[in-house]
Structure 1
Amino acid sequence: MISVFGSANMDLVAYVSEAPKRGETVTGHRFRTVPGGKGANQAIAAARAGAQVAFLGAVGDDGFGAEMRSTLAEAGVDVHGLRQVPGPSGIAHIVVDDAGGNSIIVVPGANGTVTGPSGGDLATIAGSQALLLQLELPMEAVVAAAQAARVSGVPAVLTPAPAQPLPDELLDAVTMIVPNEHEAADITGHDDPDAAIDALLERVEEAVITLGSRGALYGARSGERLRVPAITVKAVDTTAAGDTFVGALAVARAEGTPPEEALRFASMAAALSVQRAGASTSMPFRGEIEDALRELP
């Protein structure tokens, strides 16, 4: 089982030809609401990629909260650890342009009330093969969950987004970190991905830096270093591509898949997701990923 301690947001997605500049109003051509949040996205991605998944987090007592709980449950995610708190659920306002790019504003809502794992959360984490973490919950909560995983001998996988300073106590408890190249540069001060991954490996056992169209770079303290090329597709919507990658990667690694093969599995999952609109709605099922990998030359 994989546990995910993270955020659940309702994504309010506006589709436009070109994103508005400061002070500019543009007319969109489509709008939709899609359950998301980096935590919920990774939970659904991992479940669709073939894992048993438990989600630990919070939603509000509004209609968005009920819908997000239902969406997670329908995806096969265990939601016993998804608490309900008074007030609004988290939301993300997303603008997607015709080139597939996006910009996002997150309002934490119920996510901001999570100050740490509950007793039930701790038991779930201890019984997991891996714990997935992101930074859309308060930092104190993320640190506490990572430390709980370390005490239980459970690998903690951190997606350091949204980008912010990472306290030493968090990095000391994390097994693998998966930033994109911009986040890696912010964390380490190195624009060169190879230099950045060297710096990351001084703090964690494994690191993966996603490089967009240039693929992904993997490194381990054991000395292993891999660069896996991207799978070229026409992107429709890149929202949650990174979360899809991390969810699929965690599943493959939890199953004992070697790093290179696991990265290819994760890369294909992300490539399939960007060809569809939405966050959780775009994530591929395991059979789709495996079929697509078999069709590669």
Structure 2
Amino acid sequence: MSPASVFIAGPASWNTIVVLDRLPEPVPHMQFAEDTWETVGGTSAGKALALTGLGRSTLLYALTGDDDAGARVRDALTSAGVPTRWGRSTVTERHLNLMTREGGRVSLYLASPSATDGEDDAELRAIMARADAIVLDLAAEPLRLLPLARETGRPVWVDVHDYDGDADFHRPFIEAADAVFCNADRLADPVAFLRSVVSAGAGLAVCTLGAEGAVAVDAAGEVHRVPAIPVEVVDTNGAGDTFLAGVLDARLSGLSVPDALHAGSRTAAAVLGTRHLHPLLDAVL
């Protein structure tokens, strides 16, 4: 197998999506779903699908169990053309996502794999060392891989999602990263946070702003903004992951930060019209 340009480690899950007219209030009540379906989920699966769709050679490393959910995830991603290396787990990650048409979401984690014992670390380190970039997503196994990734000297990209600026679990990812992505859901001042990340050593920090696009701070401290592309939204799952994939692909192709942000915006817009993580799944699920 030829070296992958991007190595991605993190979650690939089997998700149940439930669309509601509003997110549930914390009181006993009954609601009727407007729609529901099952599909592949997981932040790393979303990035791998997007990069594969862009033609960027990619290897997804994820943990699945010997269960029905794991078989569905593996079969779907293989059928979609995503190169994968599966680690062993007692369970496959599963989510129940409560969604609104406007993009509101509550994700309930039904099962989540633990980190492995590291028996394959020599092989994984060799794969990472040959990659142009390494993406490590929030999960126990990527957290364990952080030191190995840094040893390779390859650029490390992380996506800390709805970081609130304080959560302990996210900090090792941020401290190890050359590029940090997040969303603004729990940040009072996204630009201030991005500046702090760059001041601490990252070369790029980006915050997605939903319908308002995204904002970034580069290594020189310059702030860049990009608008979202208006599209008819079917499902917002995976949009942030696809945005990161678009930016990463563009940066590896030599584009400037502003041009890469626009590339990410275009890539994200392309997945909002499908109820799967990426149109590559439309033909297999």
TM range (shorter): 0.7 to 0.9
Q: CA offset at residue 162 of structure 1?
A: 5.5
Residue 51 of structure 1 and its aligned partner are, at CA, apart by 0.8
For residue 106 of structure 1, what is the aligned residue in structure 2? 109
User: Does the CA contact (< 8 Å) of 2:162 and 2:183 recur in 1?
Assistant: no
Match of 1:198 among 178, 186, 195: 195
**Matches of 2:171 and 2:137 in 1, distance apart?**
16
Question: 1:167 Cα shift?
Answer: 6.3
- Residues 234-271 of structure 1: CA deviation (Å, up to 9, x unaligned): 32211111111112221111222221111111111112
CA contact (8 A) 2:80 2:280 kept: no
Query: 1:45 touches 1:283 (CA, 8 Å); kept in 2?
Result: no
Distance of 2:193 and 2:208 partners within structure 1: 12
TM-score (norm 1): 0.83
**Which AA in structure 2 matches 1:134?**
D
The answer (yes or no) to whether the contact 2:48–2:82 under 8 Å persists in 1 is yes
The answer to whether structure 1 residue 35 and structure 2 residue 33 are counterparts is: no
| 8 Å contact kept, 1:10–1:33 | yes
Structure 2 partner of 1:225 = 223
For 1:134 and 1:170, the matched residues in 2 are separated by 8
How many residues are aligned here? 272
- SS where residue 32 of structure 2 aligns? coil
- The answer to whether the 8 Å contact 1:197/1:207 transfers is yes
After superposition, residues 133-282 of structure 1 pair within 5 angstroms as 133-135=136-138, 137-138=139-140, 141-161=141-161, 163=163, 164-166=167-169, 169-183=172-186, 185=187, 191-203=188-200, 204-281=202-279
The one-letter code of the counterpart of 1:159 is D
Shift in CA distance, 15/193, structure 1 to aligned 2, threshold 3 Å = closer
- Indicate whether 1:55 and 2:60 are aligned: yes
Shift of 1:171: 3.1
Determine if the alignment matches structure 1 residue 92 to structure 2 residue 95: yes
- TM-score normalized with structure 2 length: 0.86
In structure 2, runs of 5+ residues without a counterpart are none
1:9 aligns with 2:13: yes
Determine which structure has the larger helix proportion and give its number: 1
Deviations 1:122-144 (A, max 9, x none): 11111111111221x12xx4344
Q: Secondary structure at the residue paired with 1:150?
A: helix
1:20 paired residue number: 24
CA distances 1:189-210 after superposition (whole Å, capped 9, x unpaired): xx22322221111222210111
* Residue 282 of structure 1, CA deviation: 7.6
Q: Which amino acid aligns with 2:17?
A: V
Structure 1 gap segments, 5+ residues each: 186-190, 285-297
Q: Could you tell me how far 1:15 is from its partner in structure 2?
A: 2.1
Answer yes or no: is the 8 Å Cα contact 2:53–2:280 preserved in 1: no
The change in CA–CA distance for 1:168 and 1:254 in structure 2 (over 3 A counts) is same
Q: SS where residue 21 of structure 1 aligns? A: coil
Match of 1:249, SS state, is: helix
Structure 1 counterpart of 2:136, which letter? L
**How high is the sequence identity, in percent, across the aligned residues?**
25
Q: Quick check: 1:35–1:280 contact (8 Å CA) kept in 2?
A: no
